[in-house]
Homo-oligomer: A and B are copies of this chain.
Amino acid sequence: MLIVQKYGGTSVGNPERIKNVARRVVRTREQGHDVVVVVSAMSGETDKLINLSSQVNENPDPREMDMLLSTGERVTIALLAMAIQALGHKAQSFTGRQAGIVSDCVHTKARIEKISGERVKQALKDGKIAVVAGFQGITATDDVTTLGRGGSDLSAVAVAAALKADVCDIYTDVDGVYTTDPNMVPQARKLDKISYDEMLELASLGAKVLQTRSVEFAKKYNVPVRVLSSFNDNPGTLVTKEDADMEKVVVSGVAYDKNQVKVTVQGVPDKPGVAAKIFNTISENNVVVDMIIQNIGEGGLTDMSFTVPKTDAKKILDVMKKVVAEIGAKGVSVKEDIAKVSIVGVGMRSHSGVAAKMFSAMAKEGINIMMISTSEIKISIVIEAKYTELAVRVLHETFEMDKAA
């Protein structure tokens, strides 16, 4: 098999941990597999570099920021290659450029455009373990880029896709994907398998295991991804394409997100172009809107509600006050202390009554639902933040997520 392994910053946080990763890599190699390792910067290094930059320029140029930050992963690949060599195996490090990871020119959040991987393939042919720097790429005009948050996961999946690897193992500090947050619900169960679509919904809903972009990439190129812990040998969770088995389970997981606020614009004139005006203005201010609901109104006026990240609350209030005046609405209010709770499962496609069951469970506990939003495999509700734990526990129990299918 050709296995791509990815280790995050905590897993390579110091020389001892790098040696530990080297031992894991070598063990896989000695089982007869070809191995490509993708690594992040040692934990703390990126923050240290950002701190240095802020001391010389409060608003650093993105190109120079990428030049600076890309050094973190270079240090790790060199050290890991050395550590593998110390165990008697052949290894070679590759920068993003040397691995042929070509990106667009959007510094600090570049998108991968293509991966050649020629040198990596040759190294594997020569019996070497290839160690590739995550998080970085190179533009067609030869400038270093970084791929933004979760970029190392993305590098790993992209390299796996380019090399047609059999599996991409993402090592983290948790040992898989759980039905929900185990800190909140002790009965939370680790999933053996989950579909790309379910993982995408969970990732975008605040389960921090895998970044959305990586899952999208894995889905697009059909790369099986395994989420594992680098601190134990548990089997982890396989993220893969949907199969018949998965559909038997109605709800695979329940996620929550406490980092949003609800914005309501009252008395919006119910005529064409008004909604467009509101959301164009928000978009121009670079605020990402999540859920949107329009209540049917009386007398030609409606209320419009939407959620935005908590960090944008102040900004959105200022922006909306102007918009309210322009469109002739009655006013705008922001409600903090809300939470979005969602259930996800590909089984919803073939099972009916899931929403009703969810809403009943909430009603039984006296939890008021402020907003509802659904997709083919997901139902999200917005509730008071103080009921988050209760709602998550009740939903976990209602849909029997502690039991395997």
A77 contacts B by Cβ under 8 Å: yes
Residues of B within 8 A of A61 (CB): 81-82, 85
Residue of B nearest to A56 (CB): B83
Answer whether residue A53 sits at the interface, using C-beta atoms and an 8 A cutoff. yes
> Roughly how many angstroms separate A185 CA and B18 CA in the complex, as a whole number?
50
Are B49 and A64 neighbours in the complex by a CB distance under 8 Å? no
B78 contacts A57, C-beta separation under 8 Å: no
Please tell me if A65 contacts chain B, counting CB pairs below 8 Å.
yes
Task: Report B-chain residues with C-beta under 8 Å of the C-beta of A22.
Answer: 56
CB distance from A173 to the nearest CB of B (A): 21
**B68 and A98: CB pair below 8 A?**
no
Question: How long is the Cα–Cα vector from A49 to B74 in the complex, in angstroms?
Answer: 11
Instruction: Report if A297 contacts B (CB, 8 A).
Output: no
Does chain B have a CB within 8 A of A44? no
Q: Do A82 and B57 touch (CB < 8 A)?
A: yes
Closest to A92 in B: B63
A97 to B142, CA, bound (A): 9
Please give the distance in Å from A402's CB to the nearest CB on chain B: 42
Given A75-B71, A98-B142, check contact A15 B58 (CB 8 Å). no
A53–B78 CB distance below 8 A: yes
Cβ of A136 to closest chain B Cβ, rounded Å: 12
**Which of B56, B64, B70, B93 contacts A67 (CB under 8 A)?**
B93
The quantity of this chain's copies bound in the complex is 2
Within 8 A of B (CB), among A21-47: 22
* Neighbour of A56 across the interface among B58, B65, B82, CB < 8 A: B82
Q: Check if B55 sits within 8 Å of A15, measured CB to CB.
A: yes
Contact of A52 among B68, B75, B144 (CB under 8 A): B75
| A127 part of interface (Cβ distance < 8 Å) | no
Contact present for A79 and B98 (CB under 8 Å): no
Q: Which residues of B contact A63 (CB under 8 A)?
A: 92-93
Please, how many residues of chain A have a CB less than 8 angstroms from a CB on the other chain?
41
Report the separation of the CA atoms of residues A233 and B19 in the bound assembly, to the nearest whole angstrom. Answer: 49
Main secondary structure of the interface of A (DSSP, over half): helix
Residues of chain B within 8 A (CB-CB) of A71 are: 71, 74-75
B60/A82 in contact, CB under 8 A: yes
Q: How far is the CB of A26 from chain B (nearest CB, A)?
A: 13
Interface residues of A in 74-120 (CB under 8 A from B): 74-75, 77-83, 85-86, 92-93, 95, 97-98, 119
Instruction: Give A215-231 as 1s and 0s: 1 = Cβ < 8 Å from B's Cβ atoms.
Output: 00000000000000000
Q: Which chain B residues lie closer than 8 Å to A92 at the CB level?
A: 63
Knowing A15-B56, A75-B52, A78-B53, the reply to whether A85 touches B64 (Cβ < 8 A) is yes
How many angstroms from the CA of A119 to the CA of B68 in the assembled complex? Answer: 19
Report Cα–Cα, A78/B58, bound state, in Å.
14
| Contact B67 A53, beta carbon cutoff 8 Å | no
CB-based nearest B residue for A18: B56
Q: Which residues of B contact A85 (CB under 8 A)?
A: 57, 60-61, 64
Nearest residue (CB) in B for A98 is B142
Q: Which residues of A contact B (CB under 8 A)?
A: 15-16, 18-19, 22, 49, 52-53, 55-58, 60-61, 63-65, 67-68, 70-71, 74-75, 77-83, 85-86, 92-93, 95, 97-98, 119, 142-144
Write 6 A-B pairs (CB below 8 A) sorted by A numbering. A18-B56, A49-B75, A52-B75, A57-B86, A60-B85, A67-B74
